[in-house]
Structure 1
């Protein structure tokens, strides 16, 4: 049985820290109300185990017949995706109703519609695993959406059309958007109004993500707040009282939520607004923190896995940032002697700065970088979108009675969107628009938010005793720096599918890349480098110019990632597409490209890379046998990297090798490599095999595995265990894997 080291394990560790902290607080403050938090944490842990998405899972490969209602539909570049709710598992002798949703993947070109009921037959896809620590945890994402399994559609048995008017209204609005904007909006208007991003231009999506403003594209708190405010303001003009305005606003936001599909983010925003409006109606004032706590509790009772969803975290953390702003602004206004002009500037800039302070660590935790322009852009663009959204709604309403005026309004909206695109494209070309910092540690997150909370609640006292506070903050920063200082070399054999890729981090923080996997996995390599907080590759080694070893490096250079130098061994007259591309890219980016021969030695910090093969006059007709073979040395630790060599090259190397700690098994565990004599000569403890899950070549071969076992070499495989991690101080070393076997 396989157990995954998925990311939410770290949250349980933080939970234990919070538990211990609360016990200390209870002991010293005697405020037993803190026990409520501890109890709720315990209930949450149990509810995760008992939740339908944890208990209703099908077996991978199982044939199922399901009946359900289509609540969401999208088209990707490769297939069509349906989300089924109110699912019934139709078995031979009975029908079992599920409380979870099902995701259906189909290549069928059928015209499915929201709201219709379908009876389908399909095959259950394996539950997705997180093979690298930097990979998106797709399995956890599905759970946070209430989806229990992914099913590959094989047959549509029967369909029942949706008889309600909701779908017809959505279709009418969609057609009206197409009619008014003529497809010139890059799919933005449909995303903003209907929450449908299937037609959203991929370049626009990537641009908004890069600039840190992608949140404006999803229907969430901003949209619902604008709708609620618009209704509330309109009713005020009509002279309705406070309670009536709040009540009708609630009806409005929930009606719109139902209209656009009741996605998780929409429900979350609606619940938060509902609680705030109810609190205002009952007590005519708002306790933001209490409202947030109650909203979070309701959402987590429904689905506790929402806790690990980045949208949930950012929504609530951003609102905490608003509460922090209110505290800071109140202090500046009442305790500091500031001119009115200064207060106006504070009202404009402080909200985005405070929100940025709160959300930046969360963004870094999930995406490993911080968009530095996001604070400035949010100050400018959020108000613009706050005006654009009502204008879009007005345009759609006017189009039903006065089409001519609606076209004029549409052109103004397109002008705004085009200006944002042009300015954003220019800003994205500027250097340092994003800062790669890697995933922050749990200790850093705890210290960061603890200090912000202390600052927000005790600002006046801190101001009076600021010297002591600054000393305390400085001491904590130094403590974190000391704890993060390492004297270790870290080696990570990444899972890149059918290919080889190893990332080496020296004790002083330099980065070596030994092969880089296929081009399609280049994003995985880039994400891992960012996860480690690496802004550049100091040295890239290419064992040979096959796509499964060189493709990722091509991707990195083409995407603008900083590569300082490359070592490879390719004949000048070799006519190879990938070798040609790498040469041209290195020339264009002015990256030194060196040839490696036997006897060459490269030293980076205290780490030595010694080239054992090939000779200068070696036969290069077989690229695999001409692979660069290197020994990575740090202190007494040595690991041998072998590229795709076979028996022939192994014979040349047998007399040059001695005892090593780790072997990167040649050629993904091919049957034509790793001879018994070669393995016996090396006398290694671990054999690292990099291969793709269910690859077409059958790697690693059964015979190779048997030869490794005969030499009592412990086999580690990326296709089963995910990324493989080696950590050494030059004397002792440890080996771990992303996915642990139980």
Structure 2
């Protein structure tokens, strides 16, 4: 780092911001003191490091102060402006006036945009303004969501533009926070954009929009929006689906229209970076411009200047993502240095770009695109010189491509598994084979087809047809490679310490490997025939033979040690989560539904239900469907399973076929290996559940119909006794269709490390009474079950935890049921402000009468129970008991 103060400063700057983000108050001061003391140690060992350590310390300190100052100012002004407490403002009706500052996104029955507020006033219960407006320019942004009530409102909302003035009447709310451990925190995400409120408007009748100033700070951005829309529409005319959405993402960074299935296929192989405008696209853009200017005999200096001026236009046109901003800044700095004839240093240019971006917006540091873009770029600059000597056995061009691909994969791996929790072993092959093809052909020729289409649509379509043929080949190759799910590895999110250790060991591993190869190459002439090397061999023996051999042995030993350490590091992170003899029951917050993950003391994973998004939409309301509708299985359950390192599920139990229990399991079966699928032995007659069963059978997952009296023993510390449903359905040759699924829900008693937990699905009071009737015959010995079931005896009451049936509906959890089981704690899984009013007040009173401690996912978020032989430790994502 000597002679590169900018790099040292940037490293310290990013480190200081990271520490200030992670810690606060006294903890931040203590960490800063500790880091300061650590930086003194190298100086004591080597005085020449004083300047470097001082630069590092100054950057770290100033960055921490800068981050803290910026973060402290990132607060809402609305409560103070309206003289209302923030908690009281949540859910209030407001009239606001402001300016639309982003492009309006019309999707299904909703139009989303950001609005910079200028006037706000409270509304009274009658819906009229009840207070004087706050007229001063607030400057605060809110996320506005306009619910569209009719299809023609889509057309009206699509006319709204960035820079338009807008007057709205609606309700203001806090954004939702993470409701599961490690779940997505929407409020934190919006805060990085300086947004603290969501403003909801019911219908465009409550919105008045008028044109804004024709000239102003937003004018250029409004023009850019129009241009992007025109280009997007033209791409749709040139290409057929799914090519149109794919090419829109590839050419101008509009990813919202990419076919979800296509995006998923790219994602599984680690190819989504192709669909995000980044350095690759900027390099093609810059190279194409320089080539075209050279054809017109434009001088080198003038060409560089022209391209420098055009780069910001491309950054705007492609959507201004952090990755393209980074590439744009680096390109401008690099071209300017080339024009001045300065010595180019890629790491210094990269450091300058990172410093400029985080000075402009410190929250860039938290952006995944920013992190991956800078990490991969820096990794290529640092690790490529170490990788190249290892690939000398390959032809030069192949070695160069393989080196870049391999280093990019190795460097991006830690962040890939941290954020996305999966990695395909075929990712290198896919990137090595497809990225050059897309970069050298699809991207430039696609841009050419777009330009042709703007001039003459028919010519653009002809060129587009040729590109579609190539795309079809690429899509088929991707589908083929994705046809081997066994190559996809699921990883839990690693710690920062693990990531740092990974990069250190990787550097040492490549360095020592290159040194070993260099030593081997040095000794090659000595290993020829004796008569050719006698004199040289003699010199080697007399002078430095022992020293060379000793040094080589030391290098070899160090390489083996580092290699073993690297393998152990990967193994340690990949291994399933261990709770050191404890079991873990996790009541996931899946909204209005059930989703429970059981991990036994020996690491068996059992998923009970998977939630599901319930829709009551009629066929004539198909226009309301969003392009990528929220599905709880794909958006909540699967990401949480992967994040927690669930490599496979030993069993999936669907208690019954209702959508709020079974719907989310479709995504689970498609993305997580499952060893057994267990259900109540009936179908519901819905297409969704039929698809789920076909998926299970199509993936060769053993399917079992659960019935009363069955037992499952996942490990020696765990037993599951099924107490429902009764077994009439099992005796039928064909699987019956039963519309009322609640009555035949699967229910089982889990015994783990001595604790007893009862899971009940959505069973109703009639099912409860049927089960309780078995208790009356216990003294007689047993109740004879069906053939193969043996004698079933209802377990005795007195349990530790009861999962309250049917989300706390009054049709379940009767007094006699609660009296029999006498639970010490009860858990209700229900959605916030659900349409059914769950949990019902009667059920709440019954639970209170039992003296049970109550946990509700609608108030507490996810509820986790760590079960040790000595007792149960409970923690909740939100407030402890929801009170």
TM-score w.r.t. the length of structure 1 is 0.85
- Contact 1:641/1:664 (<8 A) preserved: yes
- Contact 2:75/2:196 (<8 A) preserved: yes
Aligned pair in 2 of structure 1 residues 667, 177: CA closer, same or farther (>3 Å)? Answer: closer
- Contact 2:142/2:195 (<8 A) preserved: yes
- Contact 1:489/1:729 (<8 A) preserved: yes
Deviation at 1:498, TM superposition (A): 1.5
Q: Which residue of 1 aligns with 2:331?
A: 273
Q: 1:76 aligns with which of 91, 107, 116?
A: 107
Q: Secondary structure at the match of 1:187?
A: helix
Q: Which residue of 2 aligns with 1:440?
A: 494
- Counterpart-to-counterpart distance in 1, 2:71 and 2:181: 23
Q: Which has the higher contact order (CA 8 A, sep 6+)?
A: 1
Q: Which residue of 1 aligns with 2:753?
A: 635
Aligned pair in 2 of structure 1 residues 419, 399: CA closer, same or farther (>3 Å)? Answer: same
Q: 1:602 aligns with which of 679, 701, 712?
A: 712
Deviation at 1:127, TM superposition (A): 0.3
Superposition pairs for residues 9-158 of structure 1, below 5 Å? 12=22, 22-23=35-36, 25-30=38-43, 31-40=53-62, 42-43=64-65, 45-47=67-69, 49-52=71-74, 59-62=89-92, 63-84=94-115, 87-91=117-121, 92-98=133-139, 100=141, 102-107=143-148, 108-109=153-154, 110=156, 111-121=158-168, 122-133=170-181, 135-154=183-202, 155-158=206-209
1:310 aligns with 2:363: no
Q: Which runs of 5+ in 2 are unaligned?
A: 1-17, 44-52, 80-85, 122-132, 518-551, 614-630, 731-737, 777-794
- Contact 1:187/1:197 (<8 A) preserved: yes
Q: Which residue of 1 aligns with 2:253?
A: 195
- Counterpart-to-counterpart distance in 1, 2:112 and 2:179: 23
- Counterpart-to-counterpart distance in 2, 1:489 and 1:322: 43
- Contact 1:723/1:737 (<8 A) preserved: yes
Aligned pair in 2 of structure 1 residues 708, 451: CA closer, same or farther (>3 Å)? Answer: same
Q: Secondary structure at the match of 1:219?
A: coil
Bigger drift between 291-300 and 314-323 goes to 291-300
Deviation at 1:25, TM superposition (A): 4.1
Deviation at 1:671, TM superposition (A): 2.9
Q: 1:413 aligns with which of 450, 462, 467?
A: 467
- Contact 2:586/2:597 (<8 A) preserved: yes
Task: Kindly report the root-mean-square deviation, in angstroms, between the aligned alpha carbons of the 2 structures.
Answer: 3.9
Aligned pair in 2 of structure 1 residues 54, 621: CA closer, same or farther (>3 Å)? Answer: closer
- Counterpart-to-counterpart distance in 1, 2:429 and 2:572: 33
- Contact 1:70/1:118 (<8 A) preserved: no
> Which whole-Å deviations, capped at 9, do the CAs of 1:288-344 have from their partners, x for residues lacking one?
3333333223323333333222211211121122123333146559xxxx45x4444
Bigger drift between 350-359 and 199-208 goes to 199-208
Q: Which residue of 1 aligns with 2:625?
A: none
Aligned pair in 2 of structure 1 residues 54, 237: CA closer, same or farther (>3 Å)? Answer: farther
Deviation at 1:47, TM superposition (A): 4.2
Aligned pair in 2 of structure 1 residues 629, 189: CA closer, same or farther (>3 Å)? Answer: closer
> Which whole-Å deviations, capped at 9, do the CAs of 1:405-452 have from their partners, x for residues lacking one?
555433333333233223223332234353222323444323212323
- Counterpart-to-counterpart distance in 2, 1:181 and 1:625: 51
- Contact 1:503/1:513 (<8 A) preserved: yes
- Contact 1:538/1:564 (<8 A) preserved: yes
> How many equivalent residue pairs?
727
Q: Secondary structure at the match of 1:564?
A: coil
Q: 2:428 aligns with which of 349, 357, 375?
A: 375
- Contact 2:757/2:801 (<8 A) preserved: yes
* Rg larger for: 2
- Contact 1:103/1:147 (<8 A) preserved: no
> Which whole-Å deviations, capped at 9, do the CAs of 1:332-384 have from their partners, x for residues lacking one?
59xxxx45x44443211011111111112212111211133332222233333
1:471 aligns with 2:471: no
- Counterpart-to-counterpart distance in 1, 2:610 and 2:233: 46
Q: Which residue of 2 aligns with 1:345?
A: 398
- Contact 2:611/2:632 (<8 A) preserved: yes
Q: Which residue of 2 aligns with 1:593?
A: 703
- Counterpart-to-counterpart distance in 2, 1:330 and 1:543: 56
Aligned pair in 2 of structure 1 residues 467, 54: CA closer, same or farther (>3 Å)? Answer: farther
> Which whole-Å deviations, capped at 9, do the CAs of 1:516-566 have from their partners, x for residues lacking one?
323643223222222223243212223333332333335534x36433223
Superposition pairs for residues 666-677 of structure 1, below 5 Å? 666-675=805-814
Aligned pair in 2 of structure 1 residues 482, 171: CA closer, same or farther (>3 Å)? Answer: closer
TM-score w.r.t. the length of structure 2 is 0.73
Q: Which runs of 5+ in 1 are unaligned?
A: 1-7
Aligned pair in 2 of structure 1 residues 318, 494: CA closer, same or farther (>3 Å)? Answer: same
- Counterpart-to-counterpart distance in 2, 1:406 and 1:678: 71
Q: Which residue of 1 aligns with 2:444?
A: 390
- Counterpart-to-counterpart distance in 2, 1:203 and 1:434: 17
- Contact 1:22/1:34 (<8 A) preserved: no
Aligned pair in 2 of structure 1 residues 277, 166: CA closer, same or farther (>3 Å)? Answer: same
Aligned pair in 2 of structure 1 residues 11, 733: CA closer, same or farther (>3 Å)? Answer: farther
Superposition pairs for residues 604-623 of structure 1, below 5 Å? 604-606=714-716, 607-616=718-727, 623=741
Q: 1:211 aligns with which of 238, 257, 269?
A: 269
Q: Secondary structure at the match of 2:412?
A: helix
- Counterpart-to-counterpart distance in 2, 1:297 and 1:148: 26
Aligned pair in 2 of structure 1 residues 94, 33: CA closer, same or farther (>3 Å)? Answer: same
- Contact 2:187/2:196 (<8 A) preserved: no
Deviation at 1:626, TM superposition (A): 4.0
Q: Which residue of 1 aligns with 2:310?
A: 252
Deviation at 1:740, TM superposition (A): 3.9
Aligned pair in 2 of structure 1 residues 546, 227: CA closer, same or farther (>3 Å)? Answer: closer
Q: Secondary structure at the match of 2:756?
A: strand
- Counterpart-to-counterpart distance in 2, 1:180 and 1:141: 36
1:358 aligns with 2:411: yes
> Which whole-Å deviations, capped at 9, do the CAs of 1:614-669 have from their partners, x for residues lacking one?
55479999754443332212222221212233455556547843433222122212
Aligned pair in 2 of structure 1 residues 75, 666: CA closer, same or farther (>3 Å)? Answer: same
- Counterpart-to-counterpart distance in 2, 1:703 and 1:676: 10
Q: Secondary structure at the match of 2:244?
A: coil
Q: Secondary structure at the match of 2:639?
A: helix
1:298 aligns with 2:356: yes
Deviation at 1:11, TM superposition (A): 7.3
> Which whole-Å deviations, capped at 9, do the CAs of 1:132-185 have from their partners, x for residues lacking one?
245443333333445444333342213206746656655554454455447783
Q: Which residue of 2 aligns with 1:562?
A: 673
Superposition pairs for residues 454-533 of structure 1, below 5 Å? 454-455=508-509, 465-472=555-562, 474-475=564-565, 478=568, 485-487=578-580, 488-518=582-612, 520-523=631-634, 524-533=636-645
- Counterpart-to-counterpart distance in 2, 1:576 and 1:386: 45
Q: Secondary structure at the match of 1:72?
A: coil
- Counterpart-to-counterpart distance in 1, 2:743 and 2:456: 74
- Counterpart-to-counterpart distance in 1, 2:652 and 2:455: 63
Q: Secondary structure at the match of 2:869?
A: coil
1:548 aligns with 2:638: no
Q: Secondary structure at the match of 1:563?
A: coil
Deviation at 1:722, TM superposition (A): 1.7
- Contact 1:146/1:303 (<8 A) preserved: no
- Contact 2:236/2:244 (<8 A) preserved: no
